[in-house]
Structure 1
C-alpha cells in the first residue's frame, strides 16, 4: 500500500484573526499584571517599594553669607595695608629666592612672600614677580629688583623681618603707597574683630574639653567622651 502525504489545510482567515487577537490580549494582561501565561497572573509591585528609603547626610557646606564675608575680607587685606603700593614704570621684575624650610633666617622672606608680595602684585599686575624656593636649607635669601636697561639691585633678605624687607623694596623702587579706602578699613576692622572672637571661642572649647577629660578620669573612665 502506498501512502500519499497529506498536508493539513491552513485554517480560515477568520480563525487566524481570532488567534492573533487572543494572543495579543494575553500578552497585554501579562504586561499589565506582571504574571505569566503558565503560572497565572499576579499584580506587579512597583520597584520603588522594594528599595530602602535613602537618607541624605546633613549638609556641611558653609553658608553663602560666611563665605562672602571671608572673600571680601581677603580681598580687602590684599588691597590695603603695608606693601600696597604702585611701583614706578621702570621696574620690570622682582625675583625672590629663599629656602623651603624656615630655619636659618628664612622666616622673614617666607612671610614677605605670603603677606606682602600679593599686595604688590595686585597693584602692579604688569610687573613680573617670580619666587624660587630652594630645597636645601641654609642657603642665601635674596631679592633682586630689575629695572629698565638691565639695571638690577640685590637686597639680602636673610635674617630680616618681613616689615624691613617690604620697607627696603619701597625705598629702593621709590614706590607710591596706595591709601586705604574707608570701605576696606571697615572690612579689615570687622575681620580683625572676628578673628579675636574665634580665638576666644577656641580657648573656651579647649577648656571644656579639658574639663570633660578630667571628669572622665575622676570617675574611673566612665563618662562622656572628650
Structure 2
C-alpha cells in the first residue's frame, strides 16, 4: 500500500484541473467544441493549439461535463488549425442569412447539431493558448471562474513542495554521483579495474 501522505499529495495535485486557465462555465447554447491542428510539433504554428488541447481543454471539460469536445489531429504540417464552436441557437451574425427553401432540422440538442456547420470558426494557427481561450470566451460569452482562496493557498503549497523536491533530487543525485566516483577511484587504486575502462 502506498504511503497515505504520498496519496494525499497526489490527490491535492488534482486541483490543477479545477482551477486556472480554462476554468470557465460555457452557456447552455454551446452544444459542441471542436479543435483541429497538426499532430506533431513542427515549428511554432500549431504550438498554441497543442497547448490549448493539453492544458486548457481538460479544465473546460471538467467544468462543462456534458459538453462534447472533439479533437482532430491531421498529418499536414502546413494544414489548418481551427477552433469550431457549435451553438444551438443562431447568433445575430447567422440570423441575417435568409433561410433556404429546404427544411432545416430544428434542434436544441447536441446530437442534432453535431453535423451542422459551426456557428463560429476561429483560425488558431500561430495563436498562443491564452489567446485561443480569450477568443473562445469572447465568442461564447463564457463565465470565467475564479479560484477560491483556500484552493489558491493549497496550489501555492503544492508548487512550493515541488520546488523543494526538485532541489532535494538534485542534491541526492550529486551525492550519489560523488559516492560512485569515489568507489570507482578506489577500485582503480586497488587494481580491480583498468584505467582504460
- The TM-score with structure 1 as length reference comes to 0.63
Which deviates more, 148-157 or 116-125?
A: 148-157
CA distance in 1, matches of 2:183, 2:153: 45
The counterpart of 2:66, out of the listed 123, 126, 130, is 126
Matched, 1:189 2:156: yes
Q: CA shift at 1:137, angstroms?
A: 3.5
- In the alignment, the residues of structure 1 paired with residue 187 and residue 39 of structure 2 have an alpha-carbon distance, to the nearest angstrom, of 47
Determine which of 16, 25, 28 is the counterpart of 1:86.
Answer: 25
The unaligned stretches of length 5 or more in structure 2 are: 90-116, 191-197
Task: Give the one of 170, 175, 191 matched to 1:208.
Answer: 175
Which runs of 4 or more aligned residues in structure 1 lie more than 6 Å from their structure 2 counterparts after TM superposition? none
Q: Do 2:52 and 2:132's aligned partners in 1 also have CA atoms closer than 8 Å?
A: yes
TM-score normalised to structure 2 length: 0.71
Give aligned pairs, total: 162
What's the counterpart of residue 178 of structure 1? 145
The question of whether the paired residues in 2 share the 8 Å contact of 1:112 and 1:162 is answered with: yes
Report the aligned-residue RMSD: 2.3
Q: Whose Rg is larger? A: 1
Q: Tell me which of the two structures has the higher relative contact order, counting C-alpha pairs closer than 8 angstroms and 6 or more residues apart.
A: 2
